Structures are given as C-alpha cells and as structure tokens.
Chains A and B, each alone.
Chain A
C-alpha cells in the first residue's frame, strides 16, 4: 500500500468554504480536494457531505463517477497514458513498457513511496501527436522509449512536471506554455476560423442589432451545431430566447471527448477570444447574464490560458457590467473543469456536471433551452459553433451561407489523425469528398477511415467518394485514417470497450448491452464465433439503439454496425459453425474455476502442469 498523504480536514473545510459549501459546486470541491491530497478520503467525503448538506453516499456518487477523482490514495504525480487506438498503433505498448520498467510499477499501480501513479485514460485529444500522456495537468506528446526515460529520470531527480516542458516554464505566458506542450498542427486554414480574424468585430456588429435580429442573422446563415448532432444554432437560440425564465445561461461545450477529435483544442489555444466573443453574442441574443465554459479535465493545461483571456476581457470591459459601454448588457463567464467523463459532452450530462451531480444526462423533455442549468433556459453550444457565430455576425449571413452547399453551410474543422502523412487540423468547406480530404492529408493508402469518431461511420475504400456533409457523412470533425495493415476487429473492440468505459450506467441497454457487445466482439477476435453471432450483433445493437436514454447508447453500436455493413468479410472470415450445434455462450471452466480451486481439485485438461 502506498504512503498516503495525511488529509488535513481543516484544509478540506477551507476548500469547501471557498465554494460557499455549495453542493452545486461539488465537482470543484472534489477536484480541489483531489489535487490537494491526491485522493478523496472517507473522512474528507464525510466532512464535505456535512458542510454541503448532502448525504455521504451522494458525495460518494459524484466522487466515484469521474475518472480523475479517486477514492484511493494516488501518487503525488499521476501519469495518465492516452490509451486511444491511434496511440496504440503509434507505439503505446513500448511507451507503457518503458514507463513500467523505469518506474518499477505496473499500469494501475502507485509506487510504494506514494510518489507516482501510472494509469491509462481514453483519448486526451492529442491523436495528431500520439503517443501522448498527461503528467498531472501537464501533457507530453510524441513519446518514445527515449523520451519516457528522460521524463522518468527528470521526475526522479526532483523536477516538476512543468520543468519537463521548459526550464523557464514559470516565465512563460499561458499561451506559450500551451504551445510548448502541444503543437497546433494547423494544416489548412480556411476563411472563417483559422484565417485572419479581426478582434470583436462580430460582437460590435451584434451590439448594433436587436437580440431578435442576431438570431435572424444566424438562422439565415444556415449554421448548424459543430459538435456532431448538427442542430440549427439559430433555432436553438430562438427557443431559449422565447422560453420563460428569470435567469438564462450560455454554456460552451469544450468537452470534446469523441476519440480522434482535437479541433476545439486548437480553437481554444489559437482563438480563445473568438470563443468568448461568440458566447457574449449568444448572451446578448438570448438575454443571458451568466455563462459557463465546460472544459474537459484532459485539457487542464489550457485552463490558465482561458482564465487569462477571461480576466483580460473583464478588465477591458468586454465581460462583466455594461459590456462595451452598453448599459444593461451584463454578462460574465465561469470556467468549469471536468474530471474525466466522456458522457459530459452530452448537453444534459454537462449541465448535471455543472450542477455538482454525477454526469448523467437529464430526462428529455424538457429540453435545456427551456429547463437547463438550475432549471433555467440554457443554450449549450460547441466551441466551433460559437466561433462561427461570431464570424457570421461580422461578415454577414449571406457570406457564410454561400460557403459549402445546401444544408451544410460554411466551413468545418476536421481533426485528422492515424495512418496519414500530415495529421492535424484542416478547415475546409462542407461538401468535400472523403477521397479529396485523404489526398490533402497524405492518406491515400487508407483501407478504412472512421468519420465522426466511433459514434460515426467506418468507411471502406470503395466508398471514399462519399461526401463530408450533414446529409452524407455527418461528423463532429474526427477523421481517423487506418492503413491496410490494421485489424478492423481490433479497432472495433477498442471502440466498443471505450463506450463500456464511458457509459454512465443510468439506463439498462447502454449499461449492460454494451458489455454484451464487447464480449461478443471478443468472441470473434478469439475465433469462437458462430455464423449466428453476426445476427446476434445486429439484433443486440438495434435493441441498444432503440431503447437507450441518450445519444451515447443510441450510437455506441455504430462501430459494429458500420463495419458489419462496410467490412462484412472481416466478420464472416472469423466465424465457423460449431460441430455440436451449440453456441459458446457459457464457459464451464471459468464458471467452476473458483469452486475447483477452493476444493483443490485439479484438472487433466485445464491444469497444464497436472502431471508434474
């Protein structure tokens, strides 16, 4: 057992008091407690419960939901290796092995002196520079055995994670810190977001309009949400503006967790002002005075940059009271950090998380536009969507509408990674063929391309002429390229395991059904599947999709369904009819294993050393 830091309950009380002992700020209280003591001890949990007026088990429910919170002592330094399929294909195994050897602990363990914990975590948004890892809040990229040894030797010599990035880390600006850690990899700048952007031109234009006119402009532009669902943004704003409520909220969804997506990371680094400008315009349009940026815990390294941007805008009158001198236009934003939960990218779950609850989606209806954060009308928009909104107010709806094609207007940021020469971010008008994008990124040799992340579609070579639009290959932006040497079933197994890990567990089909899918794919991988198992996969998938409570379960079988459709041979090559007509759903050996061991009964068949 590791040497846990003693938990100073006085300091826990101070943390709780800092958030007004408000149960609605539970995630912040627990995050700070975790950071201070590297775990949330039972005593700390009890004290927090007492001060916030919740039951112990309710606090436990929050603490146990988020992957970055721990109910067991963790090391002063926690190393989280990004375990995405792209990282695996980029050499994660050697990186993991080197970390284990150098640290003398295995993944999942904490060193005896309590110094270091080694863990894995799903996609941290750095697929374009994989393999990557988090060391506390610092991120390191393009890891190999040599770099891992440098890191571990540095840490053992007493360097802080920040020292690993730069000797003069403390002197760097927040922007410099971020770009020292992570490359932007902007490969193609389009005219809307990544080209030159005049400061606050959209906000100034918006202030000359009535709120209703701002919404009219957005509706006329054809802008649709860029997080993946593609809901018309203007309509969302109109619903919220028309809803009854004393308080209204604008939330920015910066929880980009879809494996293979990292375009919001680049916007938050390069265009933080534009994001906040978009939120401010939204606030003006719907009549909101309060905003929240929900930043995924994996992007904690961007927190200082965003806080600095907020502070700067407050100082020069672009946030706070009477923005840009407009009496009565008050709006301010708080930054809410996440703590390792993909589901919080779902708007209802994000709202729950901001309310200090486990990140479980809310029952719909009612929808957030009428009953969102704290029950008030709330719009939740993706980082990219808000940036687009600001640009549309500056350049006009006709300008934006003319880019792209009918039903899919404007540009889109694509996060491209995997087996291609130029991974990175590409801003392109909607309507491009996938083959054209592959040519740009140097991925012409691809055998399969995952568009839209695991919730999207796995496209095969013969249909690379499909188009990147809402009507064909809709995407939140992830494009993961897989070369011919990759094993499709390995990829599918990885993604379905991701959904098992990230399901919140609220509803039966997603909680249980995805585990069954995971087991079934493992059967295929092991060569134990029968022809009927292909029907079983389809059948179970459709039950999960039809009965799940939120978008996670409604899309989690997609890696299976889209590969069954586009790569049928991968499955049919792995099945064989069983001689006795029985299906291997029950493994008698594993079922009786515990009892056999307890009874000290040995088996001729299963104990290979029986004769010794």
Chain B
C-alpha cells in the first residue's frame, strides 16, 4: 500500500491507495457531514449530504476515491448550502416532528440540521407521507413516515446480521424501505440485531419498544456535542 496526500479546504490529508475521500478525512479528524454512510457498512452515496467538490467537480465523498494531489473543497458556504438543501428535502419528504419524536436528541437528521444552521422556516412544500406503522413485532416498531431512505438498516441486516430483513421497494418518490415479509413480526428480526441497534437507524423510524425515554431529553448524544464531534476530536489528539 502506497501512501499519498491530498488537501481538504487547504489542509493536507494523508491517504492510502483505495481509501475514499471520507475515509481519509475521518482518519485525519476532518468531519464531512453524512447521513447514509455509517462506519462498518458498505458505502451507498445516496443521501448526497457528503457532497464535496473534488478538483471543482461535485462528488459524494463517501464513494469518491482519494487521489494524490486532489484538491477537495468541503466546508465552504456554497457546499454547506447544498447540504442544508438536501437535509431540508429529507425533512420535507417525511414527517419529522421533532417535539413528538422519541429520537429527538439522538437523531442524526435533527443534529445535521443544527450543524448546518437550518434555523429558519424552509421554503419547500411538505410531502406528508401516510404509511401504516408496523407495530407487529413484540420488541420493535417501524414508522417509515420518518424514514430518510438511507438504507443503513438494509445493509446492516444483509451484510452484518446475514438476515436481509429490509430492502428497497418501488421507484422514484415511491421508493421506500420495506420488510421482507408481510409484517416485521413475520421475520426473524430481534432487538439484538445490528440492524435494529440505535446506531444504525439515524432517525426515529426503527423504534425499540419500551426503551424510548430511558435517557431523558437534554442528556442525549447530540444534546452534549454537535454531530461529527467524535471525529473532529481526533484532530486535537
């Protein structure tokens, strides 16, 4: 493996052959916002929140290979505006009512909105989906009206748990995450699955019953630190 360097917003970053821009950035303590990407899962490049300009060209940094001498722009006002638009699109595509959602404070969509300064009413229309909640499983509930189609549960179940409980169905605006059975209780999903664990679903779509308010609001992950802080701390070390 040969090492090389490239730059993100002017700062030199070390990388190995085969690394994506985001992987190299994470290792160097530079956080690039993302929603559909998650450590330990295949890269998807679907949410586009990790969009950067690589030598001036738009690319999703989770899938774009790092290359020697590449000049990457990430934290520019323009790119952060694009990211904010994408996050707003996701808010408007689903039903995201933070005050009544048990994921509030642990929600990556909400945290990303704060990080990207989504501080005023948005200009987009609400699509107001109306999908049935699947509460069939004794320990798990699914409210896909809050799904952002990141597909992390799909990859986690397929590649880590080896179960394939979830999958995408439909096309375009009708594309959504579906269960591999008429209802979740017909699958072999358990709360012990990685796919069901709190770290996989970034929003309040996959709900673990009777656990929602074990930790009170105000003491949750993003109540204490901005999203991405964990990666950015590496830089100080």
Contact = CB atoms under 8 A, between A and B. Distances in A.
B110 interface: no
A603 interface: no
A64 B92 contact: no
Contacts of A502: 172
Nearest to B79: A546
A312 to B, nearest CB: 37
A550 to B, nearest CB: 10
Interface stretch (A95-103, A143-151, A157-165, A504-512): A504-512
Interface in A557-603: 583, 585-586, 591
Contacts of B175: 504-506, 511
Interface in A476-529: 500-509, 511-513, 515-516, 519
Contacts of A519: 125
A598 to B, nearest CB: 13
B177 to A, nearest CB: 9
Given A60-B178, A536-B123, A508 B169 contact: no
B160 interface: no
Contacts of A583: 123
A512 B86 CA distance: 9
Interface in B107-154: 123-128, 149
Contact of A55 (B92, B128, B167, B171): B167
B46 A508 contact: yes
Contacts of B215: none
Interface in A539-562: 540, 543, 546-549
B210 interface: no
Nearest to B177: A57
A546 B78 CA distance: 11
Contacts of A505: 149, 168, 170-175
A515 B94 CA distance: 13
Given A508-B47, A547-B51, A61 B172 contact: no
Nearest to B50: A547
A65 B170 contact: yes
A172 interface: no
A332 B149 CA distance: 40
Most B-side CB within 10 Å, residue of A502, A515, A540, A548: A515
A509 B167 contact: no
A536 B85 CA distance: 12
B90 interface: yes
Most B-side CB within 10 Å, residue of A341, A543, A585, A591: A543
Given A507-B47, A509-B86, A547-B48, A585 B123 contact: yes
Interface string B43-84: 101111101000000101001110000000000000001100
B180 interface: yes
B47 A341 contact: no
Nearest to B128: A591
Given A55-B167, A585-B124, A512 B60 contact: no
Nearest to B91: A512
B53 to A, nearest CB: 9
A612 interface: no
B205 interface: no
B89 interface: yes
A516 B124 contact: yes
A509 B47 CA distance: 8
B173 A546 contact: no
Contacts of A57: 164, 166-167, 169, 178-180
Interface of A, helix, strand, loop or mixed by DSSP: helix
Most B-side CB within 10 Å, residue of A500, A516, A519, A586: A516
A32 B103 CA distance: 45
A586 B121 CA distance: 12
Contact of A516 (B49, B125, B174): B125
Given A64-B171, A585-B125, A549 B92 contact: no
A513 B89 contact: yes
Contact of A512 (B168, B173, B178): B173
A549 B60 contact: yes
A611 interface: no
A75 to B, nearest CB: 22
A363 to B, nearest CB: 5
Contacts of A540: 85
B89 A56 contact: no
A358 interface: yes
B171 A65 contact: yes
A499 to B, nearest CB: 9
Nearest to B87: A508
B93 interface: yes
Interface string B90-102: 1011000000000
Contacts of B60: 549
B63 A363 contact: yes
B229 interface: no
B191 interface: no
Contact of B65 (A60, A365, A500): A365
Nearest to B94: A512
A591 B128 CA distance: 9
Contacts of A507: 45-48
Given A57-B164, A64-B171, A507-B46, A547 B180 contact: no
Contacts of A543: 81-82, 85-86
A502 to B, nearest CB: 7
14 contacts: A56-B181, A57-B164, A57-B166, A60-B169, A64-B169, A503-B173, A504-B175, A505-B170, A507-B46, A507-B48, A511-B93, A543-B85, A546-B51, A547-B51
Interface of A: 55-58, 60-61, 64-65, 341, 358, 363, 365, 500-509, 511-513, 515-516, 519, 536, 540, 543, 546-549, 583, 585-586, 591
Q: Which 3 A-B pairs have the closest CB atoms?
A: A505-B175, A57-B167, A57-B180
Given A56-B181, A504-B175, A505-B170, 15 more contacts: A57-B166, A61-B169, A365-B65, A500-B172, A500-B173, A502-B172, A503-B173, A508-B93, A509-B86, A511-B175, A515-B173, A516-B124, A585-B125, A586-B125, A591-B128
